[in-house]
Amino acid sequence: KCGPDGNFSNGEILPFGPIALSPSAGENAVRMKNGSDRMCMPAPSVEQFVDAVKQTVLANKRWVPPTGKGSLYIRPLLIGSGAILGLAPAPEYTFLIYVSPVGNYFKEGLAPINLIIEDNFHRAAPGGTGGVKTIGNYASVLKAQRTAKEKGYSDVLYLDAVHNKYLEEVSSCNIFVVKGNAISTPAIEGTILPGITRKSIIEVAESKGYKVEERHVSVDELLDADEVFCTGTAVVVSPVGSITYKGKRVEYDGNQGVGVVSQQLYTSLTSLQMGHTEDRMGWTVQLN
- Domain residue spans of the chain: 19-104, 113-274
Of the given ranges (105-119, 157-171, 182-196), which has the lowest mean pLDDT? 105-119
Q: What is the 3-state secondary structure (H, E, C) of 163-226?
A: CCCEEEEECCEEEEEEECCEEEEECCCCCCCCCHHHHHHHHHHHHCCCEEEEECCEHHHHHCCC
Phi, psi dihedrals of residue 92, rounded to the nearest 5°: -150, 160
CATH level 2 (architecture), domain 19-104: 2-Layer Sandwich (3.30)
260 φ/ψ angles, rounded to the nearest 5 degrees: -60, -45
Cα separation, 173 vs 166, whole angstroms: 16
H or E, element range at 158:
strand 155-159
13: DSSP letter: B
Write phi, then psi, for 75 (nearest 5 degrees): -125, 95
**Alpha carbon distance 229, 91 (integer Å):** 42
Amino acid letter, 40: C
pLDDT at 4 over 50: no
pLDDT band with cut points at 50, 70 and 90 for residue 19: very low
Positions annotated as catalytic residues are 133
Between residues 278 and 249, which one has the greater pLDDT? 249
pLDDT beyond 50 at 5: no
Are 227 and 254 within 8 A, CB to CB? yes
CATH architecture assigned to 113-274? Alpha-Beta Barrel (3.20)
Model pLDDT, residue 34? 94
CB-based contact 144:121 (threshold 8 Å): yes
Q: What is the pLDDT of residue 71?
A: 84
Query: pLDDT tens digits for 102-137?
Result: 886 655 567 899 999 999 999 999 999 999 999 888
Percentage of the residues of the chain whose pLDDT score is greater than 90: 69
The yes-or-no verdict on residue 246 having pLDDT over 70 is yes
- pLDDT at position 6: 30
Q: Is the pLDDT of residue 226 over 90?
A: yes
Nearest partner of 274 among 35, 65, 40, judged by Cα: 65
What would you report as the CA-atom Rg of the chain, rounded to the nearest whole angstrom? 19
Mean pLDDT of 145-165: 96
Q: Apex CA 22: angle with CA 16 and CA 23, to 5°? A: 140
* Residue 242 CB-half CA count within 13 A: 13
pLDDT given at position 254: 65
Q: Say which residue, 230 or 17, is predicted with more confidence.
A: 230
Residues 191-217 have a mean pLDDT of: 96
Under 8 Å between Cβ of 48 and 42: no
For residue 268, which of 178, 205, 225, 183 has the smallest C-alpha distance? 205
Q: What is the DSSP letter of 277?
A: S
Q: Which long-range contacts (CB under 8 A, 24 or more apart) does 207-213 make?
A: 207/280, 208/264, 208/265, 208/268, 209/181, 210/181, 210/182, 210/183, 210/261, 211/181, 211/182, 211/183, 212/182, 212/183, 212/184, 212/185, 213/182, 213/183, 213/184, 213/185
Give the least confident one: 40-44, 158-162, 274-278. 274-278
Q: Is the pLDDT at 2 greater than 70, yes or no?
A: no
Higher pLDDT, 272 or 257: 272
Mean pLDDT value across residues 278-288: 81
Q: How confident is the model at residue 255 (pLDDT cuts 50, 70, 90)?
A: low
> For all residues of the chain together, what is the average pLDDT?
87
Across 81-107, average pLDDT: 88
